Amino acid sequence: MIATIIATQWRMRVDEPLIEPHPTLDHAANFLYMLRGSEPTPLETQVFDTCLVLHMDHGYNASTFAARVTASSLSDIYSAVTSAVGTLRGRLHGGANTAVMEMLHEIGQPERAEAYVKDLLSKKAKVMGFGHAVYKVMDPRAAILKDLAIRLSKELGRTRWVEMCEIIERVMMEEKGIPCNVDFYSAPVYHLLGIHMLLYTPIFALSRVVGYTAHVLEQYNNNKIIRPDCNYVGDMNRKWIPLEDR
């Protein structure tokens, strides 16, 4: 249902005729078919289906935690998932692969990739798609996505996006020792599948809503309101100053 809504809304946005679901295609293939207007190849279907599985759940990430906090107050499941989606929208979470693709477009060609990344590092700027709150080694999901990106790029004869990614990945390991995360290779994969950057985060949500609802139901089954403590670290015994004297 969510896949149908996303594909339909996009077709309406770009003023293209709406496409009804194909009765013989599975979930992943139907989304690409309804979005693009042509049936995907077996490899494209396999790649996108794998992406959906990889993004389905990943522990207590920021958006999942937001969903559980909302559910813990015994708010309804729709509000909990809405909280999660709002958190997912952030550039450092579900919007990160969009930022990766923006970076690749700005680089343009593989021969510019190394200098581009080194320039970012010299300015102490963030290179999107690298680092993770949990993993200190390569995100295991990223390894799968890298393989999918390579296979898809070879089948389509469009290798420059993956070539740029491999150069960036090498430079980041040489210069900073930081491996890539799941967002890095999901960006060229989605691009090669003909998916617009504006849909990257909705597709993340399309997959992750399965995990959200599982976590919310689990929270309801053994609920206690999530209310972390905090420690005040500011000045003590401060003198109050009337507003007119400030």
pLDDT tens-digit readout, 28-60: 999 999 999 999 999 999 999 999 999 999 889
Handedness of CA 226, 231, 234, 238 (dihedral sign): positive
- Distance between CA atoms of residues 127 and 39, nearest Å: 35
Q: What is the pLDDT of residues 196-242, one digit of tens each?
A: 999 999 999 999 999 999 999 999 999 999 999 999 999 999 899 99
For the segment 154-175, the average pLDDT, to the nearest whole number, is 95
- Distance between CA atoms of residues 188 and 176, nearest Å: 23
Q: What is the pLDDT of residues 106-155, one digit of tens each?
A: 999 999 999 999 999 999 999 998 976 666 677 889 999 999 999 999 99
Would you state the structure tokens that stand for residue 202, as one six-digit string? 């909705």
Residue 14 predicted with pLDDT over 70:
yes
- Distance between CA atoms of residues 56 and 171, nearest Å: 30
Neighbours of 237 (CB within 10 A): 4
* pLDDT at site 38: 92
The pTM (predicted TM-score) of the whole model is 0.86
Catalytic residues: 132, 183
Amino acid at 44: E
Amino acid at 222: N
